[in-house]
Amino acid sequence: MKNQRNLFAQLKHACREDWREYCEHEFVNKLGDGSLEPACFRHYLMQDYLFLMHFARAHALLVYKSETLAEMTHAAGVLNVLLAGEMSLHVDFCQSWGLSRTDIEAVEEQPANMAYTRYVLERGLAGDCLDLLVALLPCTVGYAEIGSRLSAQYSKSLASNPYRKWIESYSTEAYQASSLEAIAALDRLALRASEERFESLCKTFRQATRLEVGFWDMGLNPPA
């Protein structure tokens, strides 16, 4: 990597068209202007619950793959936030949209969800911490970028937006800080990596970003 302290920026630039399609997807823009069909959002919420479970598993794998106590502590901290905080908050949020815990735990996992989560886990199992973190970052950092953009772009209409709470949850200082921490963790790992790995890491980043696009596509197409 030309600048190992700025690996995320390099990956994002190399995959800029895929990243733009992900962060400016129709699903995202409809969230921002409040025009997304409620059925689409409920479908997304239920699938996102399953996604978060696998996301937590991936961070547990990150703990196992870590080579230093500091890396283990950071990964374990994210895992704890997911299990002890975000999962419960997600259930509460689903309930505010008329979805019970029984509803979301009984939902059938969609192929787009399965493809994404299993890809992330596969990269972690086959590679090292750097491979796994690169596969995880499109979600962590992408949602921060999306939340920040939507909050600013639609600030005047946000008060009446039915998706306001979702947008605000990803534009908070706490979530933005967690995104920056993930980027910093990536940079620390990149210091141990050779420049020759960039193409492989870029392939992983691009694929994970494309799978995020597929996740939004899935959200726009709820089952009949």
DSSP line for 138-201: HHHHHHHHHHHHHHHHTTTTGGG-TTHHHHHHTTSHHHHHHHHHHHHHHHHHHTTS-GGGHHHH
Residue 64 in domain? yes
Q: Is the pLDDT of residue 4 over 70?
A: no
Residue-range definition of the domain harbouring residue 187: 4-217
Residue 67 in domain? yes
The catalytic position among 71, 139, 145, 202 is 139
Residue 224 in domain? no
Is 139 annotated in the active site?
yes
Residue 147 has a pLDDT of 97
Return mean pLDDT, the chain: 93
Residue 125 in domain? yes
The catalytic position among 15, 71, 202, 212 is 212
**Chain-centre distance for alpha carbon 53:** 12
Residue 223 in domain? no
Task: Check which CATH number belongs to the domain holding 190 and give it.
Answer: 1.20.910.10
Give dist(CA 93, CA 83) in Å, integer: 15
Give dist(CA 119, CA 70) in Å, integer: 26
Percent pLDDT > 90 in the chain is 86
Is 212 annotated in the active site?
yes
Domain count, the chain: 1
In the structure encoding, which two tokens stand for residue 138, read together?
């499109």
Residue 89 has a pLDDT of 85
Residue 222 in domain? no
Q: Which helix (H) or strand (E) holds 19?
A: helix 16-23
